[in-house]
Amino acid sequence: MILQTHNLSKNYGKVQALSNLNLSIEKGTVFGLLGPNGSGKTTTLGIILGCLNQNEGSFSWFDGENGAKTRQKLGALLEGPLFYPYMSAIDNLKLACKIKNCSEDRIELVLKQVGLWERKNSAFKTFSLGMKQRLSIASCLLADPEVLVLDEPTNGLDPQGIAEIRELIIDIAQNGKTIILASHMLDEVQKVCTDFAILSNGKMLHQGKVDVDLGDQIKIEVAAFDPMELTNFMNESPLIAKSKAVKGIWEITLNGEHSAADIAKALADKNILLSHFEIVKKSLETQFLEILKEHNA
């Protein structure tokens, strides 16, 4: 386990910024903390990076490690790009190496990784906002950390900049890094992350897998003239990954590569006479709102 938190809580006077947060983040995942501004995302990142002190609870990195040795394994971007405007990209990173007390050997590698090697001698002030953000990520990678922690990495960027940062995050993850990022953008979490947690008003409402809870699986609505027969089928069928019944209509998420035709054939083989059968294409936003509704009920 890369990171585990136990009842992590933080308040600022009378404002409860974080309440009993329990997270489990595994190695190799791209984990998204999803929620609106003020939901507790940045507070969470500040605590786990040692920038803030929690009022209650605890957290541990790497199955129990904490302290200076742990921080050496982390690369973090909590604020916007902060570099000297008149210095070149490469000189800014050389200075960052001195601050981080790490070798300059990886400067060329990280600049190439973020797509800025051709602009290594350009002054920082000439960079677009997306390029500045990529240089910030390059700085995070200088000490070759095991984990990258990013707070709203696409905030304020235009569509091209968002796409560039998205592809960069995916590339870094494919090279074996664990990434923890905070975002209020549902679409970005769905495109980049493997796992996610939803925060609202300092509380965690849900933690799950993106491909299961925010994925594109086929969803089907089914009802039968004999509700008991259909209920028994739902409880036994290996085709079904997830199901729930609302007012006699079952909503089904299928396993793997199974299709609507597969479930229709399986029902026919069981001689279950259907009164309703509909393929439902839900938007990502609808799925997200359903998760919120379930956990606020």
CB-based contact 37:21 (threshold 8 Å): no
Residues 6+ apart with CB under 8 A from 117: 108, 111
CATH number for 233:
3.30.70
pLDDT tens digits, residue range 265-288? 999 999 999 999 988 766 667 767
pLDDT above 70: residue 20: yes
Q: Do residue 150 and residue 225 come from a single domain?
A: no
Q: Do residue 202 and residue 231 come from a single domain?
A: no
Chain centroid offset of residue 39 CA:
15
Q: Do residue 194 and residue 223 come from a single domain?
A: no
C-alpha–C-alpha distance, residues 88 and 90, integer Å: 5
C-alpha–C-alpha distance, residues 178 and 95, integer Å: 26
pLDDT tens digits, residue range 144-171? 999 999 999 998 888 889 999 999 999 9
pLDDT above 90: residue 33: yes
C-alpha–C-alpha distance, residues 117 and 166, integer Å: 19
DSSP string for residues in 116-172: -GGGTTSBGGGS-HHHHHHHHHHHHHTT--SEEEEESTTTT--HHHHHHHHHHHHHH
Q: Is the pTM of this model over 0.75?
A: yes
pLDDT of residue 59: 92
pLDDT of residue 65: 63
Q: Do residue 204 and residue 223 come from a single domain?
A: no
C-alpha–C-alpha distance, residues 49 and 147, integer Å: 11
pLDDT tens digits, residue range 209-229? 887 777 666 678 999 999 999
Q: Do residue 37 and residue 181 come from a single domain?
A: yes
Q: Do residue 176 and residue 283 come from a single domain?
A: no
CA angle 45–194–155, rounded 5-degree value? 50
